[in-house]
Amino acid sequence: MSGNIAGKSNLLLTLLKRVHLDNPSPTPSDAPDRLSLFQRFTNAFFETDRLIMQFPSPQTFFEKIGQIMMEADLAHAVWIGVVHPESEWIDWKVMTGIPEHQKSVFRISVDPESTESILFLSEAVRTHKMAIGNNFLSALTQPQWHRILSESGLQSSIAVPFRLKKGVGIFALFGNRVGFFETELASLIEKFSANLTFALENREREEDRRKKDERVSRLQRFTRSFAEINELLMKRPDPDQLFDAVSRIIVDSGQARTSVIGLVDPQSGWVQWGWSTNSPKGWEKLLRVNLNPVLPEGQTMTAKALRNGKIALENDYLNSLPEGDWKSFIKTTDIRAVTVVPFFFQQEIHGLLGVAGDRIGFFDQELIDLLDKLGKNITFGLENHAQEANQKKDAEKIRSLQRLTKALADTNRMLIEIPPPQKLLETACQIVVEAGETSAAWIGLIDPGEEFLEWKAASGSSWQFFKDVRISLDKESPDGQVPTAEALRTGLPQIVEDYSETPGSHIWPDAMQKIGLKSLCAIPFNLHTGQKGVLVVGAEKTSFFDDSLVDLLSQLASNIAFGLENWEREQIRKMRETEIRNLSLTDELTGLPNRRHFHEYLKDVLDHVQDSRGKIALAIIDLDGFKTINDSMGHPAGDKVLTRVGQNLQRSLSEKAFLSRIGGDEFAVLISDFENRNRLVSQLHKLSFACAQEILFEDFSIRISASIGVSVFPDDTGNMEQMLRLADFALYRVKAEGKSGWLFADGETGKLSLNDMVNP
């Protein structure tokens, strides 16, 4: 960010100087005033830059801007306001220069026809251009405003609009005499206003980044809790164990504020609360829910979610509640967002999972999707437990379900490792086939806008046949008249109970008979990229795929889709981590490795040199007179010197050398490719010459020299700390003896001992 600010600083300095030079021949009387104006405005701009780097809140930023302009004596009053969308009124955030008790009088409209309008302010907002009222009191029709402003000594004003994400901002300055805002000052103020937009946009970008990182972290936590619950489902827990674990895991692993589970009494319609984690005391006595829409308890978001069987969300829960005991109770807690997830049993509404967050906007769409899947998985767990408990299926089907359930569990365990897409697809097919009685499995994907499916993975002996089979989304095409194509078009599972009795179907019946498959199930799934996918499973028995098996395969297909999307999210996360680490190891101004990177590299290279019995030299470079340049010519000039010196040093070094900026005007170089002292001295000549190159800044030519301290490992020292201290001490000696040169740690009269360093 500071790079952007530095760029804007240089740009504005150029613009300020251009404004200053527009009148090249000032009279002797006005030259000091104009120079003072330029200096004060420049100081105000740099104060604003420092403020931007602190990421203040908009209100704090506006207040500080007003303070900066007043302290720079660029105005006698500063007003900053916002015109919100669909509003004609200016919402003043800062008003200086008038008594506090009189500020509320200035309710100003931007409608030019309104009697509560100040025309030049209205004009600035409407035209998005600077407007000047150098004698605005003469046109002011509001007597009360006229009196207050006159008594406050404010007679002229300038208004500059600035952009906001929502609405328009207005930056108004007032002067104490008619004609206060002359052309030069007006130009400076107009340029300055661009910084307001930049600062506010910069904060919005930082806030968006923080929210995105927070959202990714929250989604990862809920993904882990989702996988943990899926693992539990594979153990077929009884409902009480399931509900207790779900409620606990959502809070412990997912880090929700609280979670509750209630079941619907089918006779009375009342919700009976039974399980909760981290819930505020006494909540269950106040939260009464009934399915009957006639009752007051049937008008809540929870009751509506139960009636329509769909997930319900309120991301500003407190403000959505009507006045009453429940709202008063919620005010005493930190619950600010709520999601209600209904679940079913035997196709009837059975209960709900309520999840609460501790801030407004806690639930984003990806989190809602995960909770929606969780609700379906709870339903699946209840149904699965009932099926096992009642033994509705024969032993053969139960064994099949168990094996495929294990396959689903294996897939879930694999998902936790976030495998790459191809491995995920291949392993999923292999797991399905190895589960038994399903002798073939294939997975294909089709990109948006494409007609034909592309097979990505398969398992089973029939792969040689299916790899050449074309599946089209075109219903009129022969390749589109097969169950797999229908599944992709409709988004619904397609089952073939007996291929020998399936009419049409192109070449499929004969082919199926040849490879020994008699029934088939095609389960579609969708990805957020717009891709469609399909899991196709074949069996050697007719009527093999009953509802329970289709549900399991549907869950597997859903997990495959989740795994593919999770891989993409993980790559984005790793990319972001790499970017953050690279930023943490790089000096922002010069682009060179920073001190932290230098120390890490030095430690590694010393270990390598020690093992290989080689040598390495450390040269610490300090620019002579840099502070004088920085103080006399300004930070932009200093930045230009540091940047150009860094570039010159880099060009003077071999590829094996390592250059870094370790702080201020100090650079460090690690040199390993020298055969003897003469070669090293030659390299030091190059470094000194690189630092001494002419640097042009605006109309100035800058020359600078450097002092260099050198230590050699292992000749001078046996560890990193001593190596750094010896080089620093040698540098100190160069500085003390007149600067502009270099000195080895062993000096001309022999090695420097540590005692010499402590008592020079």
> Is 60 exceeded by the pLDDT of residue 758?
no
Percent of the chain at pLDDT > 70 equals: 87
Mean pLDDT is lowest, of 33-47, 233-247, 446-460, for: 33-47
Is CATH 3.30.450.40 the right assignment for the domain spanning 411-571? yes
Residue 437: per-residue pLDDT? 66
Q: Quickly tell me which residue has 């909770």 as its tokens.
A: 371
Q: Given this model, what pLDDT does residue 461 score? A: 65
Same fold, 2-205 and 595-758: no
Residue 393 is given by DSSP the state S
CB 672 within 8 A of CB 614: yes
Task: Check whether 750 has a pLDDT greater than 70.
Answer: no
In single-letter form, the type of residue at position 256 comes to A
Write out pLDDT tens, residues 53-95. Answer: 776 778 888 888 888 888 888 889 999 999 888 888 889 999 9
Interval 223-230 mean pLDDT: 75
Task: Express each pLDDT in 524-545 by its tens digit.
Answer: 999 888 889 999 988 888 888 8
Judge contact between 509 and 516, C-beta under 8 A.
Answer: no
Q: Where are the alpha helices (DSSP H) in 342-391?
A: 365-390
Q: Mean pLDDT for the chain? A: 82
CA separation for the pair 166, 619 (Å, rounded): 53
Does the pLDDT of residue 518 top 60, yes or no?
yes
Q: Taking residues 477-488, what's their average pLDDT?
A: 87
> What separation in angstroms does the CA of 727 have from each of 188, 450, 545, 573, 603?
48, 65, 77, 41, 16
Q: What is the mean pLDDT of residues 478-496?
A: 89
pLDDT for res 231: 81
Pick the range with the lowest mean pLDDT from 27-36, 40-49, 213-222, 712-721. 27-36
| Average pLDDT of the residues in 237-247 | 87
Long-range contacts of 484-487 (CB under 8 A, 24+ apart): 484/444, 484/453, 484/522, 484/534, 484/536, 485/453, 486/522, 487/522, 487/523, 487/524, 487/534
CATH class of the domain whose range is 235-390: alpha beta
Q: Which residues pair with 711 in a beta bridge?
A: 618
Tell me the pLDDT band of 547, cut-offs 50, 70 and 90.
confident
**Residues β-bridged to residue 494:** 522
Query: Helices (DSSP H) in 595-664: which residue ranges?
Result: 595-612, 626-633, 635-652
User: What is the band of 317 on the pLDDT scale with cuts at 50, 70, 90?
Assistant: very high
* 10 has pLDDT over 60: no
Domain 2-205, CATH 3.30.450.40 — does that match? Answer: yes
Bridge partners, residue 617, by sequence? 671, 712
Nearest Cα residue to 133 out of 144, 696, 145: 145
Q: How many angstroms separate the CA atoms of 556 and 450, rounded?
A: 25
Stretch 124-146: mean pLDDT, rounded? 87
CATH architecture of 595-758: 2-Layer Sandwich (3.30)
Longest dimension (CA), the chain: 107
Mean pLDDT for 508-516 is: 64
pLDDT, position 617: 93
What are the extents of the domains in the chain? Answer: 2-205, 235-390, 411-571, 595-758
**Beta-bridge mates of residue 463:** none
In this predicted model, which residue has the larger pLDDT, 610 or 27? 610
Better pLDDT: 463 or 618:
618
Is the pTM higher than 0.85?
no
Is the model's pLDDT at 32 over the cut of 50?
A: no
**Could you tell me which residues come within 8 angstroms of residue 385 by beta carbon, excluding any fewer than 6 positions away?**
236, 237, 238, 239, 242
For the stretch 545-580, what's the b/e string if a residue is b when 16 or more beta carbons lie within 10 angstroms of its beta carbon?
Answer: beebbbbbbbbbbbbbbbbbbbbebeeeeeeeeeee
Q: Which of helix, strand or coil describes residue 485? A: helix
The token duo for 69 is 């302009």
Q: Is the pLDDT of residue 492 over 90?
A: yes
Judge whether 609 and 615 are in contact, CB under 8 Å. Answer: yes
pLDDT value at position 26?
A: 41
